Amino acid sequence: MATTATLPPWLPGGHLQTIVPLLRKGAMPPYRRERIETPDGDFVDLDWLATRPDDAPLVVLFHGLEGSSRSHYSRSLMRALQAAGWRGVVPHFRGCSGEPNRLLRAYHSGDSDEIDWMLHHLRRRAGAAPLFAAGVSLGGNALLKWLGERADTATTIVDAAVSVCAPLDLAIAGHALSRGFNKLYTRHFLKTLVRKAEYKHLRHPGRFDIERARRATTLHAFDDAFTAPVHGFAGADDYWQKASSKPWLAGICVPTLILNPANDPFVPSTAWPRATELADAVRFECPPGGGHVGFLTGSPPGNLDWLPARILGHFGDRLGEGHRRLSYPGVTLESRHAFLR
């Protein structure tokens, strides 16, 4: 059953629905950190929920731009998994766990190769239990790209997937973040992105133009100065074109839910796919509200329970009757919805 969030009348508009949830993070889940080596001699840090049954489903969450296991959406999903008795893990993209990674490379929106080896590793760790993958924003785009690229092969790794507020078309979403109120979000991202670029410059001098990166006032300018040259793209336009997940949606074979609210200030409706661009395994849902990974519901000050319930509802549908009736205090899953399929 498709679901949508109830719009809180006290929190109108996509910007408020994006910003206010950042103040409602809630308690940190009981994480256990594990560091693993990457195939190219670097490392990534994984934050696991405290020990759960080895045969419980495992949910992996790929975070967004400059996100982590501490992000509000990570906390709320991991708390829901804890309540459901499932296993959960948040792999950090390189440099996002609180410690700089060793190599020059960082992470980017189309890093499906990174998604690939991480999911192969976690498939082994899941054992015989189901493995589910969720991705938020940048992490959602990279996950969708991986699903489309790997097609049938991905069905041997993950049992179902969810993408939340993925940009889908990086050029449309990227330029949207350079206009109007969205410039505030860009400035917020650039503070940490430029700081990390400066550290890379100290460790790997001469590999990119640090002065251009420092002068960047848009994500396009930063990606042109740092992200593209560091990761083998000809420039920001080349990176945005090749890293977008939208062209890969028709190839997805894993049961996948794509969730993009109509009032997401980061992802205009022009970035959404048409029904003809979606594989039969893909369901695109467009709730009227939620902002960018907000989905705050209930009376003031609101709660963040709806999104975890929607994600786990999709995963539970893959498991059979014993797992479908997932519910959490204060959450109502409603039948009203708007979607393209």
**Active-site annotation, residues:** 137, 264, 292
Measured CA to CA in angstroms, residue 46 lies from 61, 116, 146 at distances of 10, 15, 20
- Give the integer Cα–Cα distance in Å for 224 and 175: 13
- Looking up tokens 């256990």 gives 32
Q: Which residue from 116, 64, 129 is spatially nearest to 90, judged by alpha carbons? A: 64
Q: Which residue from 124, 135, 94, 130 is spatially nearest to 231, judged by alpha carbons? A: 94
Q: Which residue from 103, 171, 167 is spatially nearest to 141, judged by alpha carbons? A: 167
**From the DSSP assignment, how many helices (H) and strands (E) are in the chain?**
12, 8
Q: Which residue from 231, 47, 41, 196 is spatially nearest to 122, judged by alpha carbons? A: 47
Token pair belonging to 25? 């993070």
Residue 251, amino acid: G
